[in-house]
Every structure is written in C-alpha cells, then in structure tokens.
Chain A
Amino acid sequence: GQNIDQPTEMTATEGAIVQINCTYQTSGFNGLFWYQQHAGEAPTFLSYNVLDGLEEKGRFSSFLSRSKGYSYLLLKELQMKDSASYLCAVRDGDYKLSFGAGTTVTVRA
C-alpha cells in the first residue's frame, strides 16, 4: 500500500513563510503533486515534481528528493486567501494518485 504523511495543521502570520513537509513510501513513483483545497470546494492543482530539486511558481515553490521520499511546499508572503488545506499526492507505478490526509494552513492577521 501507499503511505503519505504530512502534518495535520499549521498556523502562520500574514506576510510570513510556511513550509509544509510530505514524506512518502509508495509502490513505484511517477511524480508528486500538490493541490490546494479551500473549505467546501474542490482541490485545485498547484505544482508537480518528478525530478529532484525545486520548482518555483510565483509565491509557491515545491521541492522533491526522491532518494529520501520527501517533498515540501513553500508558501511565501502569506495572504489571508492562502488559508486552505494543502494535499500532497504521489503518482505510483500504476499511474494512480495516492493522497495524504492534507495539511490545514491558517493564516492570521
């Protein structure tokens, strides 16, 4: 089976930086995704990593280390609208996505 771990909750102040870690053990690996999900809404795609290293997209960056089974999502210059759940998902050897339980980020003024 798949095992994907991420913290349950994090709190940060507006304008600050938050790093959400994700560790995984899966049967095969074909990429790691991060999704954002606001309360009561559908998940939306944030980032994709398949090679080791950092991918930057504006205020959001995602890092992957395949040898360590580790990824993080970095949110910079936090805004109130960034309050949401962030889902780490790994595509396994059968090209199916397995999701972590999600990290709820609360941004405080």
Chain B
Amino acid sequence: IAGITQAPTSQILAAGRRMTLRCTQDMRHNAMYWYRQDLGLGLRLIHYSNTAGTTGKGEVPDGYSVSRANTDDFPLTLASAVPSQTSVYFCASSDGGRGDDEQFFGPGTRLTVL
C-alpha cells in the first residue's frame, strides 16, 4: 500500500514557467489538501477538496490552482512561478467523515524558483 505519493521529489524551476505538482492517494479518502511549509511559518493551506469535483481556497491560494477530477488525484498548478513560491509542498488526505480523522501527508516536493 503506497498511501499518498507526490511527484516530483524536487524541482528547480525558472521564474515564469508553469509547473504542476502531482499528488495521488490510494486510501479512497474523500478530502485532499495542499500545504506549503516555509521556515518559521509552519504549514499553510493553499487549496483543499472535500470530495471529488469540488475545491476550495485555503489561507494562501494566490498563484496556485487545483483540480479534483477523481478521488485519487489532486494536482497543484503554478501558472507562472515566482521566487516567493520557493518552498516545500505537502499534499495530504483524510477520510473526512469523522471529527477525529487525521490527515495523512505525502513525502513532499521541494520546489526552488529562480
């Protein structure tokens, strides 16, 4: 059982380029999330999806977009990358059906925008 996977593991990207970070889970979880983690700021929610076909904005959505065409996949797209988007990106998923449902995190993507 893989759980939740992310690709790529790391990427160096030129400013202005378009980039899609991939996230796939095999736990049949309803809810999925994208966070960015920056030193001293902790994890901040970018976008989320409570169920396939729906998405919502988190705390820091500007410059990012997501889609949720099916239960398993939740890609995050940077339409035109900027250096301030240099960060570690974590995808997470949860069952979404119970109050105490924990979020399971993927291994992360380290993105550097130059």
**Chain A residues close to B by CB (< 8 Å):** 4, 30-31, 33, 41-45, 48, 50, 87, 89, 96-102
Known pairs A87-B43, A96-B45, A102-B42 / 7 extra A-B pairs, C-beta < 8 Å:
A31-B100, A43-B105, A48-B100, A87-B42, A99-B42, A101-B40, A101-B41
On chain B, the residues within 8 Å of A87 by CB distance are 42-43
On chain A, the residues within 8 Å of B45 by CB distance are 96-98
**How many Å lie between the Cα of A5 and that of B102 in the bound state?**
21
Task: Flag if B103 contacts A96 (CB, 8 Å).
Answer: no
Task: Flag if A41 contacts B58 (CB, 8 Å).
Answer: no
B72-114 CB contacts (< 8 Å) to partner A = 90, 99-100, 102-108
On chain B, the residues within 8 Å of A97 by CB distance are 33, 45, 103
| 27 residue pairs A–B, Cβ–Cβ below 8 Å | A4-B42, A31-B100, A33-B103, A41-B107, A42-B90, A42-B105, A42-B106, A42-B107, A43-B90, A43-B105, A44-B105, A45-B104, A48-B102, A50-B99, A50-B100, A87-B43, A89-B43, A96-B48, A97-B45, A98-B59, A99-B35, A99-B42, A99-B43, A99-B44, A100-B42, A101-B40, A101-B41
Task: Flag if B44 contacts A96 (CB, 8 Å).
Answer: no
Task: Flag if A43 contacts B100 (CB, 8 Å).
Answer: no
Residue in chain A with minimal CB distance to B108: A42
B35-80 CB contacts (< 8 Å) to partner A = 35, 40-45, 48, 58-59
Task: Flag if B99 contacts A30 (CB, 8 Å).
Answer: yes
CB distance from A94 to the nearest CB of B (A): 9
On chain B, the residues within 8 Å of A45 by CB distance are 102-104
